């Protein structure tokens, strides 16, 4: 980078918040999905949103594309840099500006960690439900950009369902405000809806207004042991068919159970064919009633129930699920985590297909996920240096997506498109939709400055 350009960046964000050496920028060449072999030209970490317009204008002048990045926990390659790019970190925009108890909302900057929002809500006697698996390190800006889900998505929805308003800067450095602090606000375009899942392609988001809700009065967690994973899947469908919406309903196959237990020694039954992890919440009378109904359905399908009798045993149940990904990642150099999602009534068919694909291509797949909303995470363990196996892996991924779409599902339930699934986008929506998305991108970012190439746009 030219010295005069570097000095301009340093003047905007400060010398300590501007990085150009390979040693400094190498930490921003990967996300939770993949690693880029190309280093960004510069990495900047603004401490306030007011200097972002200057960064955008300088990037426009110097023909530098802008890749906005939070904690880098995204699982689809959405924050990978490329040659001639400026990585803009939002992690220092980390203030919780307001927790409004009267009107049930929070105002937070893009770099606030998800767990910190949830904890701040609890202190105010309120509840922020979105809980992605990475919530202890992920930032809310990334959650909005990917429309992150989580374990409670079945009953409470995902990030977009709590996004009331936002502030952002567009590709021309204009400040843009969408939505607001009122429950009903239909003035102009629904910009919060547009930007949830936009993956940094349409603007640089800096601040959010998030809906908070009253917490449930009581809850009950349980672990259900099955000999047969398809029986566990049938249980999921039957519970939903009975109009019961657990707060969470998570699935783990035998391979994942064993792997988590080896890594954590939590005390999981390693001989189980599958586990369902459930939590029911709400009014205590409702919880008691639904527990009995769920217990009956689980046992009818061959499940053996173990309930959490105290907070410690409850936390162990959910620790087991949250440790699934990190435990699997210990086994092989390369981990490919997918999130094909199908209608809940089709979850048994999807699980059967995943098992068949694993056998057919002779690859190892551990499967876990948010079974209650049909969002499975078939996790392929491999080594990208093994070229022959990687060819089989690629065919297996193609088949997984094909099956999901044929069952009326989607390519991604919560991880986004990024670079990982760009080539499949037209399979799901058709050429007309992809063309519309390209035109939309071009309309708000004519110079293709913002995260170009992601989603294939």
For position 172, what pLDDT does the model report? 97
Q: Please tell me the CATH code under which domain 332-421 is placed.
A: 3.30.70.2740
CB 398 within 8 A of CB 375: no
Residue found by looking up tokens 């390519």 in the block: 411
Question: What are the extents of the domains in the chain?
Answer: 3-92, 96-211, 216-325, 332-421
Q: Which two tokens stand for residue 393?
A: 């892996």
CB 270 within 8 A of CB 258: yes
For position 250, what pLDDT does the model report? 95
Q: Is 43 left (phi over 0), alpha (psi -120 to 50) or beta?
A: beta
For position 157, what pLDDT does the model report? 95
Q: What is the mean pLDDT of each run of 10 residues along the chain (457 residues)?
A: 93 97 93 90 98 98 97 94 95 98 98 98 98 94 96 94 98 97 90 97 98 96 95 95 95 96 93 96 96 97 92 84 91 92 94 97 95 93 96 96 96 92 93 97 97 94
CATH architecture, domain defined by 3-92:
2-Layer Sandwich (3.30)
Look at domain 216-325 and name its CATH class: alpha beta
For position 35, what pLDDT does the model report? 87
At residue 34, the 3 state secondary structure works out as coil
CB 88 within 8 A of CB 28: no
- 42-44, strands of its sheet edge to edge: 18-19, 42-44, 85-89, 65-69
Q: Which two tokens stand for residue 77?
A: 């390659």
**Do 3-92 and 216-325 come out as alike in CATH topology?**
no
CB 404 within 8 A of CB 375: no
Q: What are phi and psi of 447, to 5 degrees?
A: -85, 0
By the 10 Å C-beta count (0-12 exposed, 13-18 middle, 19+ buried), 238 is classed as middle
Identify the sign of the CA torsion 240, 242, 246, 249: negative
Q: Is CATH 3.40.50.1220 correct for 96-211? A: no
CA distance 117 to 424: 34
For position 309, what pLDDT does the model report? 83
């Amino acid at each position: 980078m030219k010295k005069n350009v570097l000095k301009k960046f340093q003047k905007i964000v400060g010398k300590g918040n501007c990085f150009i050496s390979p040693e400094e920028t190498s930490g921003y060449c990967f996300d939770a999905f993949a690693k880029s072999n190309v280093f960004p030209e510069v990495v900047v970490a603004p401490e306030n949103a007011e200097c972002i317009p200057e960064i955008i204008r300088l990037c426009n002048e110097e023909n530098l594309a802008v890749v906005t990045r939070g904690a880098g926990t995204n699982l689809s390659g959405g924050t990978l840099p490329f040659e001639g790019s400026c990585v803009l970190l939002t992690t220092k925009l980390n203030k919780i500006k307001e927790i409004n108890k009267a009107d049930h909302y929070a105002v937070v900057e893009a770099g606030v960690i998800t767990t910190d929002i949830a904890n701040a809500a609890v202190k105010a006697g309120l509840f922020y439900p979105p809980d992605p698996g990475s919530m202890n390190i992920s930032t809310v800006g990334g959650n909005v950009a990917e429309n992150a889900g989580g374990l409670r998505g079945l009953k409470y929805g995902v990030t977009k369902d709590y996004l009331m308003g936002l502030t952002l800067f567009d590709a021309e450095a204009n400040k843009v405000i969408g939505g607001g602090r009122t429950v009903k606000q239909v003035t102009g375009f629904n910009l919060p809806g547009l930007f949830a899942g936009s993956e940094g392609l349409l603007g640089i988001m800096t601040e959010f207004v998030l809906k908070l809700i009253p917490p449930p009065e009581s809850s009950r967690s349980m672990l259900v042991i099955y000999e047969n994973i398809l029986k566990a899947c049938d249980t999921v469908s039957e519970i939903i068919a009975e109009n019961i919406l657990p707060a969470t309903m998570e699935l783990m196959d035998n391979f994942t159970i064993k792997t988590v237990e080896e890594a954590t020694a939590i005390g999981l039954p390693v001989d189980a064919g599958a586990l369902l992890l459930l939590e029911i919440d709400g009014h205590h009378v409702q919880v008691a009633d639904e527990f009995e109904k769920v217990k009956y359905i689980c046992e009818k399908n061959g499940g053996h129930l173990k309930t959490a009798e105290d907070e410690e045993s409850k936390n162990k149940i959910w620790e087991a699920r949250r440790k699934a990904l990190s435990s699997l990642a210990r086994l092989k150099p390369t981990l490919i985590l997918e999130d094909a999602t199908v209608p809940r009534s089709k979850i048994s068919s999807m699980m059967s297909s995943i098992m068949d694909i694993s056998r057919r291509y002779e690859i190892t797949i551990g499967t876990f996920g948010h079974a209650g909303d049909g969002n499975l995470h078939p996790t392929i363990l491999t080594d990208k240096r093994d070229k022959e196996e990687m060819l089989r892996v690629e065919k297996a991924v193609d088949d997984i997506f094909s099956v999901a779409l044929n069952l009326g599902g989607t390519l991604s339930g919560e991880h986004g498109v990024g670079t990982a699934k760009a080539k499949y986008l037209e399979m799901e929506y058709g050429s007309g939709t992809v063309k519309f998305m390209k035109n939309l991108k071009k309309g708000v970012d004519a110079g293709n400055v913002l995260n170009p190439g992601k989603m294939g746009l």
